[in-house]
Amino acid sequence: MTTMEIRDEREERARYAAYVNGVRIGFASSILVRETVLLPHVEVDPDRRDLGIGSMLVRRALDDARTEGNSVIALCPFVRRWVDLHPDYLDVARRPGPGELGAVNSLVAADRTMRLLHHEESKILATVQDLEPETP
């Protein structure tokens, strides 16, 4: 039996993640700044892009923001389009104000850097493990 779940990983990884049978198949980055959630990036495994997984990730992020009393700035084109198609979320989603744009761009760049560093870290750890001698 196949099980799919959306996990709230904001504390550990600043994201929501979709898993099928324990394997991560997608995520939505989430950055909380005061009472505003930035959604800069949604990514789904290319083989599973037409299954609505990105939509489930976005819906969960917006539902949690609404429950927690936060607004959401949809930066990812997919998230912006999703909000346009779901007007019942217009009370939560908003565009960045003119004074916020510089700070938002800096936060998105920092998020991108952290994701890249995390991916590089796993490659480095794999390389180090390959170099470790086998134990009998």
pLDDT along the chain (136 residues), means of 10: 90 91 92 91 90 95 97 93 96 88 81 71 38 42
Q: Please give the pLDDT value at position 88.
A: 96
Q: Please give the pLDDT value at position 128.
A: 35
Q: Please give the pLDDT value at position 95.
A: 86
Task: Specify burial of residue 54 (Cβ count, 10 A radius: 0-12, 13-18, 19+).
Answer: buried
Q: Please give the pLDDT value at position 107.
A: 79
> Distance between CA 14 and CA 85 in Å, rounded?
25
Q: Please give the pLDDT value at position 136.
A: 44
Q: At what angle are helices 53-68 and 77-85 packed, to 10 degrees? A: 80
Q: Please give the pLDDT value at position 119.
A: 63
